[in-house]
Structure 1
Amino acid sequence: MAASREASASTGVTPALDFDAIVIGAGMSGMYQLHRLRELGMRVRVFEAGTGVGGTWYWNCYPGARFDSESYSYGYSFSPELLEEWDWSEHFAGQPETLRYLNHVADKFDLRRDIQFRSRVAAATWSEATRSWSVMLQDGSQFRTRFLITAIGPLSAPTLPRIEGVDVFQGQSFHTARWPHEPVDFAGKRVAVIGTGATGVQTIQTIAGSVGHLTVFQRTPNWCAPLHNGKIDAETQKKIKAGYPEIFRRCQETFACFLHNPDPRGTFEVSDEEREAFFEKLYSERGFGIWQGNFRDILIDRKANATISDFVARKIRQRVKDPKIAEKLIPRNHGFGTRRLPLETFYYEAYNRDNVELVDITETPIERITPKGIKTSDKEYDFDIIIYATGFDAITGSFDKIDFRGVDGVRLKDKWKSGPQTFLGVMVDGFPNMMMLMGPHTALGNIPRSIEYNVDWVTGLIGYARQSGLTWVEATPAGVATWTDHVKALGVGLLSNEVNSWMTGINSNVEGKQTRIVARYSGSAPAYRARCDEVAAKGYDELVLA
């Protein structure tokens, strides 16, 4: 396919490139990509908008932030020495510890010397004549590179609610993903939290005991399950380190790279008593087992899903003392596990406190933010602090914030107007030499496991291009169409794709994102890797190479 691009080659002298590769973002994927490209002997620059490394774990420093994959399955696996020297203190580490870990990685591999902080990328434009990308920062500076790699994350573009008066509030206000890096004093304060998704749940359960009064404004309740976190003692630490090969092997084999795999049984292949006992067992265990390790049909069969939804609803009623509040906390518009499942630690018990109030904004909508607080259709509330746990413009939102222009000046945002179209979730036709880490249509799941594979695959492709003297690497329109159709087909029959959520591209806070799309790959991670490996094994002959 190389000949299809030869006619566009420049006959003049190619201007010198500033870098062989530019990476946008210094989170987990950008850091690892930098490390791998250095191994190829490339001149690399990473542009990072923040003042430090960490990406998600740099920006999301709100109270209670932590991951819900087991710590020992979440960290990087590429360095045995790193695995041996780092001790995780909890089964599910909090944001401060995770950020310390990522700073340790940056120090260990001397990554900062190739990272430029306080550098937000505004635009990236492809030059057909020089077969390179011109990357422009918000300060107007520009840099030219052969390869452009986005490491901007699927959940990195926070959104505020479209409510009148957000800018007029005279107290403190924060989006959870733009939390200040200095402590916030909650003692005696009147605090509002808008939103009860994963970040809202973590924030609410963490601050309920330290605020003067907490008012939670809930639009859509979410199903939540206990995290059951705990400290890692010395003996367990030894077992974890000895067991790392098995831990990562298991992550490679499971459907979504977690330590949990679906139970092979169907929900109704066991007796009512056995099913109830199995649910009780999962509810009492750590992590995502109740979501990722449940009966194989609970996410595709409505009747099966109803059994686990009814079980968790009973748990909520048992844990929340006020029956009216309990009913408000039970979702009615989606089944258990069909949206991203927040894991919690005494979240429901927070509503048993005298200083916590729940406001259902489907009954009494927020009309506007006022200088002193929030006005609903029912009353006015005065607050000292407003916390917006209102989520992200997910998956494509971080791409929309950068003006990517490919061949003939085509804008990526326009190309994706009706939903993302990709090849393997890594490349887009018309955007040569641009690769996406954790872009639309890649396998998500336990993110760092997917990141390492994504980065290794991109590194292999770039290494092949350099060895072969290639200056143009691009997906074909046919390849993009086939992969996009495949991703859509995988979503058929999943209850989650019938639900409005960030996983289906819905965000009521973003203009034009009220239509459901298939924005993520719904197949298994092993199947995804097998398809990508197939492309590499055939010498990338499914791509345009010149």
Structure 2
Amino acid sequence: MTQAELDVTAEPSTAVDHFDVIVIGAGISGMYQLHLLRQAGRSVRVLEAGSDIGGTWFWNRYPGARLDSETYSYQYAFTKDLLEEWDWSEYFAGQPELEQYLHEVARRYDLRKDIELNARVASMDFDPDTNDWTVLTEDGKRRTAHVVITATGVLSAPIYPRIPGIDRFKGETYHTGLWPRDRQVSFEGKRVAVIGTGSTGVQAITEIGKTAGHLTVFQRTANWAVPLNNGPISTDEMSAIRARYPDMFDELQNTFSGFLHDWDPTPTTAYDDDALLERFEAAYSGHGFSKWIGLPKDIGTDVDANKKWSDFLSAKLRQRIDDPATAEKLIPTDHYYGSKRVPCETGYYETYNRDNVDLVSIRDNPIEEITETAIRTAEGDVEVDMIVYATGFEAFTGALKRIDITGLGGKKLAQTWAEGPVTYLGVQVSGFPNLFIMGGPHGKGGHGNGPRCAEKVQEWMTAFVDYIFDEQIARVEADPAAEAAWSEEVQERALVGLMSTAKSIFFGDNLVDENDPSTKPRKRVYVAYVGALSEYVNRLQDLAKNGYPGFVITK
């Protein structure tokens, strides 16, 4: 061994890998961002917290996990060769098929070579001297990049309920958003509790009830759930769908949220009673969100129109549930239809007709604590072997707030967003230069049909990165005045419809404990974005044409 080799092996290397761009997250958006940046000739590294790619479809592998966007509308549009070859088995694919598809995309486009797995980001610090970010992962490894793009997901920061004794339980516990990958979870013969009846709860409850020895569902808030109406795609249907791909992808960029369904401009008042009933029956029998975004538009804005549809759904629900008392528990009374995320279901309500399934309303019978073997309610103990928490996520902001992100002057992103997010167009925050947010708060990138809402934003973001490097830009950050104006516009638009009347994840209400004042924000802040996809994309593209007004650019 030479002296030079001895010198190298005497001490561990202190070298730090540097990239043009670091992308955080290897889900659907992170993978496409990687593909775009590589095409642009940038050196890029993707850091993924999980042990494999897939994002949503890696972490959410709970029983029943499934799309509610039509599968063929959800896939990548850029994969021209794969579009010609890939056959989908169902209108709404389940988690295993979606994960398999994403693995094939990664293989075909050789994406894994630039993705680091098991690389959860712990902190990010902006260096005002180099104008680069230092990114530290939990394993202690540091990397630097001039630009960081976060693709951490809209629903990727699971939350647990604030129940005394939650850590005392000695049985099995799972969160739907952190379902184990390395082993099969069996419910057979077990006393299972599911806490939560939102979108994931509705899917999981339906499946768990089929095999559990006994299932007790703990419901805080009844939700309006509608039939998914899933089914297999035949060979002939798949050929017909494939022939429509070019037109379909263009059309999806011009629907309100990138779905195959769009708001019907004909109001409910234009129908007589018989015609409106026929219109409702057709929607109820249709696929997926034909029963939400495909409805007459005034259902989302007018109380009387909303009640017509809600009464129709309530009648359907009562027909499907044998016990009238249980049916009434499952009919929402505290919010208008569509003012919360609408779950799509397949046999959910019939689950409560099973002898092995009970429903507990925790508004009527509150959970007081969790013991080593039971969930203790005001009316007594419910002994269980397993608890499944379908208690949701800190939507849009949670994954970013859980990273210690430090910008200029020691400014912390989590503190900046302590009373609700502020952004410029959902893509940047003042005081955090060269940090771009994909699918975060106040942007369209994560609000609707995920890939369709994200792709044009990501293409715009890649062009902005090109501009930064081509023009030797030191810093790009949101102008505080533009940020304030956009955040106010987002809030004002959210207050126009019925959505603002409901407690929901879109206002961060699921993070508020009525008995814990420390969890209450000073004001309710809308975390998503109300606006059409095409309107939002056009706004971004106009900025690019006009030199990016609203951004402070330092050469």
Task: Give the TM-score normalised by the residue count of structure 2.
Answer: 0.94
Cα distance, 1:490 vs structure 2: 1.6
Alignment match, 2:31: 31
TM alignment of 1:219-298, pairs within 5 A: 219-298=220-299
Letter paired with 1:460:
A
The answer as to 2:521 corresponding to 1:517 is no
Number of residue equivalences: 532
Alignment match, 2:206: 205
Alignment match, 1:365: 366
Runs of 4+ in 1 over 4 A off after TM superposition: none
Counterpart among 475, 478, 483 of residue 480 in structure 1: 483
Give the conservation status (yes or no) of the 8 Å contact 1:422–1:483: yes
Alignment match, 1:466: 469
Alignment match, 2:422: 421
Matches of 1:184 and 1:372, distance apart in 2: 19
The answer as to 2:452 corresponding to 1:449 is yes
Q: Tell me the SS of whatever aligns to 1:208.
A: helix
Matches of 2:273 and 2:34, distance apart in 1: 52
The answer as to 2:510 corresponding to 1:507 is yes
Counterpart among 486, 489, 498 of residue 501 in structure 2: 498
Letter paired with 1:495:
L
Cα distance, 1:418 vs structure 2: 2.3
Alignment match, 1:406: 407
Give the conservation status (yes or no) of the 8 Å contact 1:368–1:374: yes
C-alpha change, 1:466 and 1:307, in structure 2 (3 Å) is: same
C-alpha change, 1:404 and 1:17, in structure 2 (3 Å) is: same
Q: Tell me the SS of whatever aligns to 1:288.
A: helix
Alignment match, 1:12: none
Alignment match, 2:348: 347
Q: Tell me the SS of whatever aligns to 2:309.
A: helix
- Deviations 1:484-514 (CA, angstroms, capped at 9, x unpaired): 1221222132111221111112124676355
Alignment match, 2:75: 75
Percent identity (aligned): 48
Give the conservation status (yes or no) of the 8 Å contact 1:507–1:513: no
Give the conservation status (yes or no) of the 8 Å contact 2:16–2:143: no
Q: Tell me the SS of whatever aligns to 1:215.
A: strand
Cα distance, 1:134 vs structure 2: 0.7
Matches of 2:424 and 2:17, distance apart in 1: 27
Give the conservation status (yes or no) of the 8 Å contact 2:16–2:142: no
Letter paired with 2:90:
E
Q: Tell me the SS of whatever aligns to 1:209.
A: helix
Alignment match, 1:438: 439
Matches of 1:301 and 1:147, distance apart in 2: 44
C-alpha change, 1:509 and 1:178, in structure 2 (3 Å) is: farther
Counterpart among 536, 539, 552 of residue 544 in structure 1: 552
Matches of 2:512 and 2:36, distance apart in 1: 37
- Deviations 1:248-299 (CA, angstroms, capped at 9, x unpaired): 1221111111011111111112111111111111001111011001111111
Matches of 2:177 and 2:204, distance apart in 1: 11
**Gaps spanning 5+ residues in structure 2: where?**
1-14
Cα distance, 1:83 vs structure 2: 1.1
Matches of 1:354 and 1:509, distance apart in 2: 35
Cα distance, 1:430 vs structure 2: 1.0
Alignment root-mean-square deviation, CA: 1.3
Alignment match, 1:336: 337
Give the conservation status (yes or no) of the 8 Å contact 1:121–1:402: yes
Letter paired with 1:512:
T
**Gaps spanning 5+ residues in structure 1: where?**
1-14
Q: Tell me the SS of whatever aligns to 1:278.
A: helix
Q: Tell me the SS of whatever aligns to 1:507.
A: helix
Give the conservation status (yes or no) of the 8 Å contact 2:430–2:483: yes
C-alpha change, 1:513 and 1:524, in structure 2 (3 Å) is: farther
- Deviations 1:346-396 (CA, angstroms, capped at 9, x unpaired): 100000011100011111111111111211110111111110000001111
Give the conservation status (yes or no) of the 8 Å contact 1:160–1:509: no
Letter paired with 1:493:
V
Cα distance, 1:180 vs structure 2: 0.9
Task: Between 224-233 and 32-41, report the one with greater CA deviation.
Answer: 32-41
Give the conservation status (yes or no) of the 8 Å contact 1:161–1:509: no
TM alignment of 1:23-62, pairs within 5 A: 23-62=23-62
